[in-house]
Amino acid sequence: MAQDHQARSRRRLTATVTDLEIAIQRAFLVGVQLPGMSELEEDRSLDELTLLTDTAGSDPVDRELVKRDRIDPATYIGSGKAEELGRLTRALDIDVVVFDQPLTPAQQRNLQSIFHCDVVDREALILDIFAQHATSKVGALQVELALLRYRLPRLRGMGKSLSQQGAGIGTRGPGETKLETDRRRILQRISKLERELEESSKHRETQRKKRRRSKTPQVAIVGYTNAGKSTLLNALTDSTVLVQDQLFATLDATVRRLDLPDSRQVVLADTVGFVRRLPHGLVEAFQSTLAETNQADLLVHLVDASEPDLSGQIDAVREVLEEIGADHIPEIMVFNKVDTLADLERTRLENLYPEATFISALRSIGLDELLGVIAEAINSHLVTLSLTIPYDRGDIVAAAHRIGDVIEEKHDDHGTILDVRVPPSAVDRFSSFAG
């Protein structure tokens, strides 16, 4: 009896492992190089698409960079090339073909007919990853809204694939009950999500207003996904934000207090990471989260020093900052993961970026220097005030010490006399005590 039980257990275990293996999609990646595009840049974008596909839970089996003089309206890559790749993907037993460029609904349907498997683009892939990683209520609402906006024009011809909820890339998120209804009901759902996110945005704005009223400087960590932003936030503030060696591990904004070396406090925010060609629909859906960035007084632009394409990632981050209206905010450049660099490579980076700070958030290397740089950057924008504060207004004296940089403090018959430097946003709070 015991042997029979063990044999059945082994069979169940084997079946479970086999099912898991079958569930992993085999993916083929396609990039397109048009005139004026750099082959190296497109190849690096395909490298990133490989990481994104792996993060989504699929196996990137093979890839091809197609060179085209122009975009084909019907299939993007031309019918001949599509037929050629179709034969290759069938030979490789591919489950999903992932395009690095955005596809129209018609192109997607035509390609699926040729490939005889699912076809998705970069936007659908990133949306799929977001759908897997959205854990908070707000994050889930933002992802669902972006998914519905993306899928609405693609409803025609999707058929049974919509009922296969959770089967692979492009199928996660809202399932059959939300997508196999008519457009009117889907639009009603979109409107409802927009209203709920608007309410959430008002709540977040109330919280931000409270922080602004305290006149505490706000600092946002920005950077490419997986640059180590959450690790840095944890290291600087003794927090326990989720850290994973994975793209888009953190989607929700996290805000913590940070003490600087000059005893002042700032508010430190960590938000969603950026990538090349971040879908516009996601930027729109995550506006309330990204507001933590575009309302900051200072940006800490964190860069993975071990990344081969540093300049490409830096440019991609700045493009997104421009899109969300945060490109005017003062920025300090910080290179992370320097513990992984050879001495010669670090020296080369230091020569290329002489104003940057070099750290390892994981190993706590250079963090004291970074805190000093943050304090100096904030101080460089401070306004100097001379204040005479009555003795019964100790709260104002305390606020000056907490918010500003007190240069000199004296006392006379009229009260406490302070020479203090404060952020521009705090000037109104102290103006009535200015001499």
Let me know whether 263 and 331 are in one domain.
Answer: yes
Let me know whether 414 and 349 are in one domain.
Answer: no
Token code pair at residue 232? 């840095």
Locus of tokens 């008519």: 182
Whole-model pTM?
Answer: 0.71
Let me know whether 364 and 395 are in one domain.
Answer: no
In a domain, 112, yes or no: yes
Let me know whether 92 and 69 are in one domain.
Answer: yes
In a domain, 206, yes or no: no
Let me know whether 192 and 273 are in one domain.
Answer: no
Strand partners, 282: none
Let me know whether 192 and 111 are in one domain.
Answer: no
Domain end position, chosen among 127, 156, 173: 127
In a domain, 154, yes or no: yes
In a domain, 241, yes or no: yes
Per-residue confidence in pLDDT tens, the chain, 435 aa: 445 544 444 444 344 444 444 468 899 999 999 999 989 889 989 998 998 999 888 999 999 999 999 999 999 999 999 999 999 999 999 999 999 999 999 999 999 999 999 999 998 998 888 888 777 777 788 888 888 888 888 775 454 444 444 456 665 555 544 445 567 788 888 899 888 888 877 766 666 566 555 567 889 999 988 889 889 999 998 876 555 555 555 556 678 889 888 777 888 988 777 887 777 766 766 666 676 687 788 999 999 999 988 888 999 899 888 888 888 889 999 999 999 999 999 999 999 999 999 999 999 999 999 999 999 998 787 788 999 999 999 989 988 887 777 889 999 988 999 998 887 767 888 888 987
* Structural domains counted in the chain: 4
Let me know whether 178 and 278 are in one domain.
Answer: no
Let me know whether 375 and 387 are in one domain.
Answer: no
Range of the domain at 51: 18-127
Specify the CATH number for the domain of residue 97.
Answer: 3.40.50.11060
Let me know whether 67 and 189 are in one domain.
Answer: no
In a domain, 203, yes or no: no
